[in-house]
Amino acid sequence: MAGLGLIQFDEWADLYADRVRVMRTSAVRDLFAAASRSDIISLSGGMPDINRLPLEKVAEVAAHAILEEGVAGLQYGDTTGRPQTKQIIRGLMADFGVEIDLEDVTVTTGAQQGLDLLGKTFINPGDAIITEGPTYLGALQAFSAYQPKVHTVAFDEEGMCTDLLEAKLKELGPRGAKFIYTIPTFQNPGGVTMSLPRRKRLLELAHEYEVPVIEDDPYGRLRFEGTPEPLLRSLDNEVIYLGTVSKVFAPGLRTGWIIAPLPILKKLNMVKQGTDLCGSALNQVIVEHYFNETPWAETLTLICAHYRARRDTMLEALEEFFPPEASWTHPAGGFFVWVTLPEYMDTPQMLSVALDAGVTFVPGDGCFPAGSGLGKNTLRIAFCYEEPELLREAVRRLSLVIEERLELYRAFIKAGAL
Ligand SMILES: Cc1ncc(COP(=O)(O)O)c(C=O)c1O
């Protein structure tokens, strides 16, 4: 029966755990299948442009990694990661003013595993957690397995609104939430960056209400302009920090890391043992050799110049084609622009029409907790992957889909039906 491609009655449905029943598949993952059609331009995936990596050099360092490290890369390793990989991470963190010891860090299978481990370590069913709203849908997916009550706090161009955060913390009381999860720099999906005063206020509030802060930072090195804001972790060494090589090297290596206060890290490491015994040593040795043997920072600067050109093209196209009723963010780095349409618009419904028109995007409701009813009039569009001419065409196609719907609503309003 398997493999027929038919929708099959699930005779095992009553056996699944409650946590699986409440989980949703990621709309973006599901979209990847559609986006592979050659006539569709994808504004949906947050995939880095790895086509510009020096592939021969990568092949060379991978060969070195295997030949020079011998069988170490093929053997089980330490649950917390190889010390040599941690040295690389220590160097990357020092660039941003964070000094760590090797014991402060655990290497993970991407930052995504870090999110899952944090959920598994902190969340009991019904526990409150706080995230930006909208937030990274992969984080919502990871946390949802542990059945939290997710409270969202809105952001503006200066990042998470700390007055709203304060109100939320007050409502929940001291230690009323298990953690505050934030992507302060080039937020996914918002593209916005938290200002320094907001960063300081967030940390003050976290201390006042005794709630740990998780800083997820995959995009921090992808800055196109302006001066970097300090990492939350550089302002406060109690912050739990998630890093990854996915956007500075390659997501296929599935190498990320988590830095946390020692008691927390000890618990996370114990949880990790049950999850995977240890991450891939082979991937770690390749990462080590890539960062040690290639001018990776120069490569990244080059790739960032392309991201910047694409960001510019997208913002120009939005100005040119999008209706006056739409507004959007102006990211100084990262991968994403967040678009807000009039309240009555329904972007999940709009998606199939957009697919017919040859363009995909991420409907914003998926970036809010399931069942919250939030974000239906919003969407995330990514500028990281397609070439500029295609980006412009994609924004034009999308604008036609939006315009058609707006026309309909304008006619309804005129007729007094709304
Ligand atoms: C905010 C955020 N956190 C975590 C991840 C997962 O990263 P990784 O590839 O390291 O698992 C992503 C991936 O897009 C992301 O956008």
Task: Look up the CATH number of the domain holding residue 393.
Answer: 3.90.1150.10
Any atom of ligand 1 within 6 Å of the Cβ of 250:
no
**What pLDDT, in 10s, does the model give residues 299-351?**
999 999 999 999 999 999 999 999 999 999 999 999 999 999 999 999 999 99
Query: What does the pLDDT average to over 216-226?
Result: 97
CA 169 distance to own-chain centroid: 24
Query: What does the pLDDT average to over 365-388?
Result: 95
Strand arrangement of the beta sheet that strand 213-216 belongs to = 105-108, 256-259, 240-244, 213-216, 180-182, 128-132, 149-153
Query: What does the pLDDT average to over 52-56?
Result: 93
- The structure tokens listed for 315 are 């913002």
* Euclidean distance between the first and the last CA atom of the chain, given in angstroms as a whole number: 49
Q: Are residues 305 and 282 in the same domain?
A: no
State which of 242, 268, 293 marks the end of a domain: 293
Q: Are residues 35 and 149 in the same domain?
A: no
Task: Classify residue 287: in a domain, yes or no.
Answer: yes
Task: Classify residue 5: in a domain, yes or no.
Answer: no
Task: Classify residue 56: in a domain, yes or no.
Answer: no
Q: Are residues 144 and 270 in the same domain?
A: yes
pLDDT of residue 288: 96
Instruction: Output the CA 179–ligand 1 centroid distance in Å.
Output: 18
Instruction: Output the CA 71–ligand 1 centroid distance in Å.
Output: 30
pLDDT of residue 63: 94
Residue predicted with more confidence, 254 or 417:
254
Instruction: Output the CA 112–ligand 1 centroid distance in Å.
Output: 6
Any atom of ligand 1 within 6 Å of the Cβ of 191:
no
pTM: 0.94
Query: What does the pLDDT average to over 144-156?
Result: 97
pLDDT of residue 31: 62
The domain that contains 101 carries what CATH number?
3.40.640.10
Instruction: Output the CA 250–ligand 1 centroid distance in Å.
Output: 12
Query: Rounded to an integer, what distance in angstroms lies between the CA atom of residue 63 and that of residue 392?
Result: 40
Q: Are residues 34 and 88 in the same domain?
A: no
Q: Are residues 90 and 164 in the same domain?
A: yes
State which of 271, 293, 315 marks the end of a domain: 293
pLDDT of residue 410: 83
Query: What does the pLDDT average to over 31-41?
Result: 73
Q: Are residues 404 and 313 in the same domain?
A: yes
Q: Are residues 305 and 370 in the same domain?
A: yes
pLDDT of residue 3: 44
Q: Are residues 185 and 302 in the same domain?
A: no
Any atom of ligand 1 within 6 Å of the Cβ of 256:
yes
Task: Classify residue 190: in a domain, yes or no.
Answer: yes
pLDDT of residue 37: 76
Q: Is the peptide bond before 189 cis (omega within 30 degrees of 0)?
A: yes
pLDDT of residue 417: 67
pLDDT of residue 1: 41
Q: Which atom of ligand 1 is nearest to the CA of 244?
A: 10
**What pLDDT, in 10s, does the model give residues 61-76?**
999 999 988 888 899 9
Q: How many Å is the Cα radius of gyration of the chain?
A: 22
How many domains does one find in the chain? Answer: 2
pLDDT of residue 396: 98
Task: Classify residue 175: in a domain, yes or no.
Answer: yes
Instruction: Output the CA 110–ligand 1 centroid distance in Å.
Output: 7
Any atom of ligand 1 within 6 Å of the Cβ of 216:
yes
Q: Are residues 287 and 363 in the same domain?
A: no
Query: What does the pLDDT average to over 360-385?
Result: 95
State which of 261, 293, 325 marks the end of a domain: 293
84: nearest Cα among 267, 277, 221, 255 = 255
Q: Which atom of ligand 1 is nearest to the CA of 251?
A: 9
194: nearest Cα among 221, 172, 215, 224 = 215
Any atom of ligand 1 within 6 Å of the Cβ of 246:
yes
User: Does residue 28 carry a pLDDT above 60?
Assistant: no
Q: Are residues 383 and 255 in the same domain?
A: no
Q: Are residues 341 and 209 in the same domain?
A: no
- Helices 162-172 & 196-208 angle (0-180, nearest 10): 10
Ligand 1: which of 47, 85, 185, 216 to mutate, most ligand atoms within 8 Å of CB? 216
378: nearest Cα among 410, 344, 355 = 344
Q: Are residues 37 and 96 in the same domain?
A: no
Task: Classify residue 385: in a domain, yes or no.
Answer: yes
- The structure tokens listed for 350 are 């709009």
Least confident among 47-51, 171-175, 307-311, 333-337: 47-51
Residue 142 burial (CB < 10 Å; 0-12/13-18/19+)? Answer: buried
395: nearest Cα among 46, 48, 41 = 41
Residue 400 belongs to domain spanning:
19-48+298-414
Task: Classify residue 358: in a domain, yes or no.
Answer: yes
Task: Classify residue 53: in a domain, yes or no.
Answer: no
